[in-house]
């Protein structure tokens, strides 16, 4: 059995006024009127499960393996 999911999310953060950028002249030069940052997230998530079951000389055996991975990328984007 296997599953896969992709998710994209965006979350608006508090508005940054022009006066709050006084300590960051590079941002103040690019955004003289302030900006509203947006945090974005992209996530890829998958899982694989496989197994075998059998019997040898009246001995019952069961074997399974699980594989899980998830990757996330976060970033702040000024808007």
**Model confidence over 46-55: pLDDT tens digits?**
898 899 999 9
CB-based contacts of 8, cutoff 8 Å, min separation 6: 40, 41, 42, 43
- The structural domain count of the chain equals 1
- Farthest-apart Cα atoms in the chain, separation: 80
* Predicted local confidence at residue 54, as pLDDT: 92
Predicted model pTM: 0.52
Q: Decide: helix, strand or coil at residue 48.
A: strand
The answer on pLDDT for 78 being more than 70 is no
Determine the structural domain holding residue 35 and report its residue range: 2-78
């Amino acid at each position: 059995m296997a599953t896969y999911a992709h998710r994209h999310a965006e979350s608006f953060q508090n508005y940054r006024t022009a006066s709050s950028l006084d300590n960051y002249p590079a941002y103040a030069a690019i955004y003289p009127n302030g900006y509203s940052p947006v945090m974005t997230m992209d996530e890829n998530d998958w899982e694989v499960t496989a197994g075998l079951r059998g019997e040898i000389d009246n001995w019952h055996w069961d074997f399974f393996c699980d594989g899980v991975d998830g990757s996330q990328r976060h970033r702040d984007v000024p808007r």
